[in-house]
Chain A
Amino acid sequence: MNLVLEPLAYGFFLRALAASALVSLVTAVVGTYVVLRGVAFLGDAISHAAFPGVVVAYLVGFPFYLGAAVAAVGTALAIGYVSKRGGLRQDTAIGVLFAGAFALGVFLFSTIKGYVADLFSFLFGQVLAISPADLVGLVVLGVAVIAVVAALWKELLYATFDPLGAAASGIAVERLEYLFLGLVALTIVVSLQAVGIILVVAMLITPAATAQLVTARFTRLMLGAAVIGVVTAVAGLYISYWLDVASGATIVLAQTATFALVLGYQRLAHALRPSPVAPEAEA
């Protein structure tokens, strides 16, 4: 009991707890669409592309969120544009843009003389160091992303499931595509401080992927992803505090372990089932 309550006496832990819970909620909601579209690679790309923005913001003394947001949203929209107009497949466009953007970040980073702990924490996250001001910015961005999804979940769902049918009936599918890319970019910016550039894709994908193992209904999928995301983030943060290890990595490990447990349980239950009853619908 003491183990759970004791860290709550510290302001930095409370802030970290709030940030982790919010981040995992936003990533789970947006990640549901990412998983359904099969664009996990996109999350990875946009997060890496945020790196040069962070470095530039540091160099000119701007808040890191601003630099990350400009770089991430810019890259996301560029990916959308190139894959639509350039006659390239989307994964090709992503590969070209994100490697280039990340290289630019590393290049700029290497021009900084001396040891820069702040930047390093963006690669792997440092949620325990989050400042009150950063937390406020994170809440504003996170609430904005959730509000947009709450307003457009129907349209996003229709456009994801059947883009042709949706477009033909008057849903602005192309504009939603750009909006979706923008949402993924902002979600990643929100998550940077919690888990860092390298691991943020896990926050997007793993909770939704875990929920997809247990339900075939859209609303339950999103709800399940949110619950799994928040619970694992809180658990991961506590574990990292108790063991005094990296918080971002511990949160991601908690999510991965949950996924593995659910998958293992399902396979085991499937193997132990007495007779193989195929879930075929009656004609």
Chain B
Amino acid sequence: MNAVAPAGPLAPAAGPEPHRAHRNAGTDAPRHEHGDALDPAHAHAHADVWLSDVAAGYGQRVALEHVSLAVEPGSLLAVVGPNGAGKSTLLKLMAGLARPWTGRIEVLGQPPGREARRVAYVPQAELVDWAFPVTVEDVVAMGRFPRLGPVRRPGPDDRRAVRQALEQVGMAHHLQTQIGRLSGGQRRRVFLARALAAEPDLFLLDEPVTGIDPTTQELLMGLLEAQAARGKTVVATTHDLAAAAEHFHQVLAVNRTVIAYGPSNLVLDADVLARAYGGHLLVLGGQTVLLDDAHHHDEAAPGERHFHDGSGAGR
């Protein structure tokens, strides 16, 4: 629906990656035909995100183990699982924010962090200090900072990219609003706009649609689908199984390790979910009900400050 024109020159100066040609191959991508028989070397060579037998955690606590995974370019992937299943940790590993204990990870063909300027990461809402004195425009402009580098100030191109991103998420009229004054859905929109303004090849989004109204959810998912259709890769954690089934092409169910990975309709069946969620799941006449608080999130990693609304946002 959105004919999204990049703000800068149409093709990145570095030239499109060789596998980019696959990206717009069509709606039913050939990648699932192979299923588990997919040649690992082939998967590795063509993946935007690749993990091989990865284990990770905090201190003594194991969060993930034996995780192997290849995410192809143009994927729209939901990571689902109960609280403490390691969803956020997995995202942080991909973002280079956490290091694996064992195993190998490659992101955009490099070790995590090496291609950081092509990655946009959006943290959980609880990790953001909403009382911080920045406006909507300031936050979205941050998406442009890494490419600018030190000393250089944001120029006309950057301002255009910021405005365009805010128009896409429908927040252009809130440029000067302090972020703490926004509703939960508006805050998520602004952070997605920051990611869009960065024009990344890989989106890593921690709970982008948690606790927001259906209209905003539709809007954000539409934008992410458009990005995936352009060959960008989107990996998002979510508690919302309905949203995962409806909007994401693929689902990765995790609970300390990979429970299932594949097209959403195959992964989100009762058996797989029961394994992923244990006793937190109820299947009622074909309807799956998740007995899980959507506002919970994974435990704070050491050193992380959590900000909850009402405590500091409004003064």
Contacts and interface: CB of A to CB of B under 8 A. Distances in A.
A273 interface: no
B250 to A, nearest CB: 22
Contacts of A165: 120-123, 142, 194
A130 interface: no
A167 B121 CA distance: 9
Given A161-B134, A218-B138, A281 B116 contact: no
B280 interface: no
B181 A279 contact: yes
A168 B206 CA distance: 13
Contacts of A283: 183, 185-186, 213
Contact of B121 (A168, A215, A279): A168
B204 interface: yes
B74 to A, nearest CB: 21
A169 B117 contact: yes
Nearest to A280: B181
Interface stretch (B13-21, B145-153, B239-247, B261-269): B145-153
Interface stretch (A17-25, A109-117, A149-157, A235-243): A149-157
A217 B139 CA distance: 11
Interface stretch (B78-86, B125-133, B222-230, B288-296): B125-133
A212 interface: yes
Contact of B134 (A155, A167, A217): A217
A280 B180 CA distance: 9
Nearest to B127: A164
A269 interface: no
B142 A168 contact: no
Interface string B96-116: 110000000000000001001
B52 interface: no
Interface in B186-217: 186, 194, 198, 200, 204, 213
A169 B121 contact: yes
Interface string A268-283: 0000000000011101
A217 B133 contact: yes
A217 B182 CA distance: 15
Nearest to B177: A281
A151 B128 CA distance: 25
A218 B176 CA distance: 12
17 contacts: A155-B145, A157-B142, A161-B129, A161-B134, A162-B123, A165-B123, A166-B142, A167-B97, A168-B97, A168-B121, A168-B204, A170-B119, A216-B133, A218-B134, A281-B183, A281-B186, A283-B213
